[in-house]
Amino acid sequence: MALLANILWSQPRVVVIAHRGEHLRHPENTLEAFAAAAEVGADFIEVDVRTTADGKLVLMHDATVDRMTGGHGPVAAMTFDEVRRLRVGGKAQVPTFDEALALARDKNMSVYVDSKSITAADAVAAIERHGMAERVVIYGGESYLSELAAMRPKLLVMPEARDAATLRRLLAAMPLKVVAFDARDFNDETIAVAKAAKVAIYVDRLGPADNATAWRDAVDRGAAGIQTDHPAELVGYLRTKGLR
C-alpha cells in the first residue's frame, strides 16, 4: 500500500476500514481479528484504545471489560497485568496498542485509531515507536485532536464532522486532510463543506447501512473511505465497480 498521505485522494480507489478488525468471525479488537482483516484485503484496521490504571495502552471498545471478557470493571481501574489475564471471547488476549501497530506495519496496513481514553503524548509516542506516523488517522475529541495537531502537525487527525457549521469551525482550527462521518452527519450540506475544503471523507456504514446499496450511495456522494463490519464483502464489491 502507498503511504496514507498519497491514497487519501487516489480515486478511483476507495479504502476499506475494518471496524474492530474482522470481528464477525473473530473476537473484536484482537490480533486475530486484525490479521483476518488483512487477509481479506482491508486497508485499515479500526482500533479502540484505552489506558490502564498503570498507564499501559490496551484495546477495548467499552469502558469496562464486562461485555468482552469474563472479568468485571473499568479498564481505567485495572492494571495491565489484570487486563492481560483476561480472555476476549474466551480465548484471545487483550492486545496492546503497540501490538496492533506492529501487526499493521508488518501487514502493510493503516490504522484508524479511535482514541477512547489516551493522552496525546502517549498516542504520539506509540505511533512513532513503530514508525507508523504516515499510516494512521486519529479519531477523537476536538481538544485532544488539537493537542495532537500542535504536537505533530503532520499526523492525520480526524474529527467527527457533526454538522456543516461545526465542520467549518474545525477546518479553521486544525490542519485537516480527512474527516469522519457517520449516519447522523452524512448529509448533503455537511458533505459539501468537506468537498469544498478538499478533505477526504471517511464514513461509517455500519448496522443497517452496511450493504451494497449504502456503499454505492457513500461512494456516489464522495466517500474516499468506508468503515464496515463486512470488510471482505466490501472489498469484493468495490472490485466489481473498479474502485480498487
Q: Is residue 56 part of a domain?
A: no
Average pLDDT over residues 68-81: 97
CATH number, position 35 = 3.20.20.190
In whole numbers, what is the pLDDT of the chain averaged over residues?
95
Structure confidence by residue, pLDDT tens digits, 83-130:
999 999 889 999 999 999 999 999 999 999 999 999 999 999 999 999
Q: Is residue 74 part of a domain?
A: no
Structure confidence by residue, pLDDT tens digits, 155-184:
999 999 999 999 999 999 999 999 999 999
Residue 2's pLDDT is 45
Q: Kindly indicate the confidence band of residue 142, based on its pLDDT and cuts at 50, 70 and 90.
A: very high
* Residue range of the domain that includes 47: 4-51+97-240
Residue 102 CA to residue 59 CA, distance in Å, equals 14
Q: Is residue 171 part of a domain?
A: yes
Answer whether residue 10 shows pLDDT above 90: no
SS3 16: strand
% of residues, the chain, pLDDT over 70: 95
Average pLDDT over residues 189-193: 98
Number of domains in the chain: 1
β-sheet bridge partners, residue 137 = 112, 156
Q: Is residue 13 part of a domain?
A: yes
Answer whether residue 222 shows pLDDT above 80: yes
Q: Is residue 91 part of a domain?
A: no
Q: Is residue 59 part of a domain?
A: no
Q: Is residue 140 part of a domain?
A: yes
CB 13 within 8 A of CB 41: no
Residue 95 CA to residue 28 CA, distance in Å, equals 11
Q: Is residue 147 part of a domain?
A: yes
